[in-house]
Chains A and B, each alone.
Chain A
Amino acid sequence: TQLLEQSPQFLSIQEGENLTVYCNSSSVFSSLQWYRQEPGEGPVLLVTVVTGGEVKKLKRLTFQFGDARKDSSLHITAAQPGDTGLYLCAGGYNNNDMRFGAGTRLTVKP
């Protein structure tokens, strides 16, 4: 059983479209991280959020941490083919362990 549920599991869109992916849990996290993983490589950290309600922006990517620190979303504006990859969220617990979701596989078609 996944502690972190990510949705959708797969997403295929055209270049220029906007999208949002979600990360949900019944547990409260001390922190939440988003990673992107490309084929043949390990995940690369995009952002860390620690405060409930926190919003962080990274160019066209907007990350939000839920008020109750149980969920998070990643919004991409005007998606580009270079955004293609597996997006993983990871929640941090009080013992500082990080637990990952199964990921959302995003394909952006030119």
Chain B
Amino acid sequence: KAGVTQTPRYLIKTRGQQVTLSCSPISGHRSVSWYQQTPGQGLQFLFEYFSETQRNKGNFPGRFSGRQFSNSRSEMNVSTLELGDSALYLCASSLTAGGPYNEQFFGPGTRLTVL
């Protein structure tokens, strides 16, 4: 069974540009969550999608947005990039949404560098 895949793995952008990251969940998983990981802040929750609907959203500005397609693949978009957006962006898929035993499977992440 293929794991969670994220593309691209590495990305370099300049301030003011926008970027789109892609995540393909494990086959059969309907929930996709996105996280931003930085050395100082750890993993910060961005948003979660379940069956094409945004179920939860973290405390990030509106420049961060996402969507989920009917095949459960998800994309996140960051507009007007800032230096502070440099981070590892992780996608996690799970079978369903919510619940303490709902195991999340993480992809390898996309390393975004903003110059």
Contact = CB atoms under 8 A, between A and B. Distances in A.
Interface of A: 2, 6, 30-31, 40-45, 48, 50, 88, 90, 92, 95-103
Nearest to B33: A98
Interface of B is mostly: loop
A96 B41 contact: no
A95 B43 contact: no
Given A96-B98, A98-B104, A100-B35, A42 B92 contact: yes
A97 B102 CA distance: 11
Nearest to A97: B56
Nearest to A32: B100
Interface string B89-106: 010100001111111111
Contacts of B43: 43, 88, 90, 100
A30 to B, nearest CB: 6
Contact of B100 (A42, A92, A102): A92
Contacts of B56: 95, 97
B4 interface: yes
B62 interface: no
Contacts of B45: 97-100
A37 to B, nearest CB: 8
Given A48-B101, A103-B42, 5 more contacts: A42-B4, A42-B109, A43-B90, A50-B100, A97-B45
A57 to B, nearest CB: 18
B40 interface: yes
B44 interface: yes
Contacts of A43: 43, 90, 106
A99 B40 CA distance: 15
B108 A100 contact: no
B8 to A, nearest CB: 14
B19 to A, nearest CB: 19
Contacts of A40: 108
B107 interface: yes
A88 B90 CA distance: 14
Contact of B108 (A31, A41, A95, A98): A41
